[in-house]
Amino acid sequence: MNTGTQISISSLLIASSLVLVSIVFSHHQKLKLEKEIIIGIVRAVIQLVAVGYVLEYIFGLKSPIFTTLLILFMICNAAFNAAKRGQDIKDGVLISFISISAGTILTLSILVFSGAIKYEPYQMIPVSGMIISNAMVALGLCFKHMSNDFNNKREEVETKLSLGADTLTSSIEIIRDSIRTGMIPTIDSAKTLGIVTLPGMMTGLILAGTSPIIAIRYQIMVTFMLLSTTAIASFVACYLSYRKFFNNRKQLR
């Protein structure tokens, strides 16, 4: 990795002129996005600098407890964010927390036990970040789809209930469609890996000087883990949340 590119501060400053391109373009096309672009860039720089120093500190600590606490903190944040997509789902935050935790713990356990990664902050934190953010996006899609379907297919669900079906049987199509919706972006992105996109992790490794042959091994591992996390988190979330659309008399709320 020592052969990789080292970006100097002066290089970064020159590269920042690229931001001017979007500002000039916005101004010329009267998009009125100049303020948004500047705020976005300033926030990104501040957040990334802060995260850089925090990670540097945590990596230096090499404490498994601190690493676990940080992963827990990431899961909590992701749970709050995912729950926003399903605001009419009661206990959405708790369901998101359980689902993301289930996906993360299972996937990380397999990766650690298989020896693919070590339980050390410099490996666990970036990998957990990828897993958790992917699960968060999947859950957001699941919740949104489920809420919409329970609104749009109300009469279909009530027809099944009126025939004497249980709530699970009455909702099974909605549950399956919601899980599918949560998983499809990850599956689609897996299909186009290497053809359409060179994903962030692989690009990062190559830029840092790693051989592309080694970088693809990591990317294959990432693809496996993202698929597994999305599947577990979507499955757990949908099977926990469909019940929230019914009361204890098995009636739609």
Partner 1 sequence: MDLLQFKKVFYVRENKDIIKNFSLSVESGDFISIVGASGSGKSTFLKLCCHLISPTDGEIMYNGRNMLEYNPMLLRKEISYCFQIPHLFGDTVEDNLNFPYFIRSMKMDFERVNELLLRFNLDKRILKEEVKNLSGGEKQRIALIRTLLFKPEMILLDEVTSALDVDNTQIVESVINSLNKEGTTVLWITHSPEQSRRYANKLLTVDCGEIKSLEAII
Residues lying near partner 1 in the complex (CB under 8 A) are found at: 155-156, 158-166, 169, 173, 247, 249-252
CB of residue 155 vs partner 1: minimum separation in angstroms? 5
CB of residue 251 vs partner 1: minimum separation in angstroms? 6
Radius of gyration, alpha carbons of the chain: 22
Whole-angstrom distance, CA of residue 45 vs CA of residue 5: 20
Count Cα atoms within 13 angstroms, Cβ side, for 59: 11
CB of residue 236 vs partner 1: minimum separation in angstroms? 25
- Residue in 113, 131, 155, 143 with CA at minimum distance from that of residue 244: 143
Q: Report the interhelical angle of 34-61 vs 17-28 (nearest 10°).
A: 150
CB of residue 172 vs partner 1: minimum separation in angstroms? 10
Tokens of 145: 């789809």
CB of residue 170 vs partner 1: minimum separation in angstroms? 9
Query: Which H or E run includes 7?
Result: none
Whole-angstrom distance, CA of residue 224 vs CA of residue 137: 17
- The conformation of residue 91, written as its DSSP 8-state character, comes to T
Residue 91 or 173 having the CB closest to partner 1? 173
